[in-house]
Structure 1
Amino acid sequence: MEWQEVASSWTLVPSQPTGIIHFLGGAFVGSAPQLVYRWLLEQLAKDGYAIVATPFANGFEHKQIARQALSRFETTLQRLQSTPALSGQYLPVYGLGHSMGCKIQVLIGSLYGADRAGNILMAYNNYPARRAIPLLEQLDFTPPGTIEFSPSPAATLAIAASDYNIPRTLLVRFQKDDIDQSSELLPVLQERLPGRASVIVLPGNHNTPCSQDFDWQAGVSFTPVDAIAQWVKQELSRDLKRLKRELLRWLNPVGMPSG
């Protein structure tokens, strides 16, 4: 099972997939999801989920980004469905996003009639442009308030409140994440679709979904550097593997063992 680029998306398809995950990453790092989120996405694929990771360039027109991301996904899916791996079968599609990718998934699920069995939104972020891009604070030639994402943070919540139509949604928050805004989105989704949105709080930080489970090889003699590296590996691996388990538990609660 290897990554392949199909119609401008990166795909990873197991031999007998049980579902399809459309993944969108965070701002800037979302341009190379197959690299930045490699470990997590490969683990989901090993558990039977076909991965379609759609890169996108950061910009101010988020509706346009959402529309293009959905269009690329649908084109990629059509190509995959013409191959033996996905031909002739219906598989549920789940949206998975991280940070800004969550906002794009919310817009896809609200504005463009995406056929999704559910969405998982990790570390949802919906900050205005001047906080999301600190450099804008230094642009003295631009009057305050004239540069903003479209839709704005408030408009995004209003769109979700009136149009979000994904039957199940899981918001994932991390304990050491001080830029997560799930607390603003959750009540909107719960009011829009009562009983269909939930939140889970996990160990980790805003970048946990990007972590890699690296293999540190100690030298002939075990040094303090080795000790620190092993500790860092253990902490990162624990949070990342816990995230993987919880995602799989939500995707397939019947098939996951307890504990």
Structure 2
Amino acid sequence: MEWQEISGSSVLVPRYPIAVIHFLGGAFVGTAPNFTYRCLLEELAKEGYAIIATPFINTFDHLGIARNVLNRFEGILERLQTNTALGQGYLPIYGIGHSMGCKLHLLIGSLFSVERAGNILISFNNYPVKKAIPFLEQLEIEQYLNLEFTPSPDDTKLIIKQDYQIRRNLLIKFTQDNIDETTVLKPILDEKYPTLVALQTLSGNHLTPLSQEIKWETGEVFTPLDAVGQWVKQTLSRDLYRLKDEILRWLNPGRM
């Protein structure tokens, strides 16, 4: 099972897929999801989930980005259904987003007609421009240029409240994540689908989904540096695999 590039997206299709995941990463790191989120996505693929990871370039037009990644996803899915095992029967489709990727999935699920068995929203972030772009708030440029994302954070919340159509949702936040806004999102979704929204708080931080396998080879003599390296490896791996297990448990409770 190897990554393929199709229409600019990264695709990983297991031999016997049981579902499809449309993955959208965070701003900037979402430009190459098969590298930045490689470990997490490959672990999900090993469990039978076909991955379509759509990269995007961040602009102020978040609605335009949402429309673009959805169009690309649907074109790739149609192609895969024609040429691969994805076309051998019905497969549920799930959205997984991290940080800004959550906002994009929420816009897609609110403003476009899509079929989704559910969404997994990790470390939701809906900051305004002055907080999202480093140093902009200190420079006070936005008050002169009137810069803001489209839709704005307030408009995004209103759109979700009025139009979000995806009933089943898993929200994940991390204990050491100081830019997460999941606690703002959950009451909005609870009001729409009170019995179908789950929240899990896991150990880790905003970058946990990007963690990679660290290969730390010790020498003939185990040194204090080796001890630190092993501790870092175990900590990162532990948090990442807990995230993976929680995702799999929610996707298919009967398999865990």
Q: TM-score range by the shorter chain?
A: over 0.9
Aligned ranges for residues 119-134 of structure 1 at < 5 Å? 119-134=119-134
Identify, as 1 or 2, the structure richer in helix: 2
The code of the aligned residue for 1:42 comes to E
CA distance in 2, matches of 1:215, 1:112: 43
Cα shift at 1:138: 5.2
| Structure 1: runs of 5+ lacking an equivalent | none
1:58 paired residue number: 58
1:149 paired residue number: 149
Q: Deviations over 1:214-256 (max 9, x none)?
A: 2211112111111100000011111111111000000001111
- Asked if the contact 1:18–1:49 (Cα under 8 Å) also holds between the matched residues in 2, the reply is yes
Q: Deviations over 1:190-212 (max 9, x none)?
A: 11122121210000000000001
2:177 paired residue number: 177
CA distance in 2, matches of 1:147, 1:154: 14
1:168 paired residue number: 168
CA distance in 2, matches of 1:179, 1:24: 18
What is the RMSD of the two structures over their aligned residues, measured on CA atoms? Answer: 1.2
Q: Do residues 84 (structure 1) and 51 (structure 2) align?
A: no
Question: Bigger shift: 219-228 or 113-122?
Answer: 219-228
The code of the aligned residue for 2:179 comes to I
Q: Do residues 241 (structure 1) and 244 (structure 2) align?
A: no
1:64 counterpart SS class: helix
1:105 paired residue number: 105
Aligned ranges for residues 24-63 of structure 1 at < 5 Å? 24-63=24-63
Q: Deviations over 1:4-31 (max 9, x none)?
A: 0112210000000000000000000000
Q: How many residues align?
A: 256
TM-score normalised by structure 2 residue count: 0.97
Cα shift at 1:108: 0.5
Cα shift at 1:167: 2.0
The code of the aligned residue for 1:111 comes to L
1:215 paired residue number: 215
Question: Bigger shift: 138-147 or 233-242?
Answer: 138-147
1:229 paired residue number: 229
Q: Deviations over 1:87-114 (max 9, x none)?
A: 2311000000000000001001100112
CA distance in 2, matches of 1:142, 1:19: 43
CA distance in 2, matches of 1:113, 1:81: 19
The code of the aligned residue for 1:152 comes to S
Q: 1:126 to 1:85 in 2, by over 3 A?
A: same
The code of the aligned residue for 1:156 comes to T
- Asked if the contact 1:6–1:79 (Cα under 8 Å) also holds between the matched residues in 2, the reply is no
Aligned ranges for residues 182-201 of structure 1 at < 5 Å? 182-201=182-201
- Asked if the contact 2:130–2:142 (Cα under 8 Å) also holds between the matched residues in 1, the reply is no
Cα shift at 1:143: 3.0
Cα shift at 1:84: 3.1
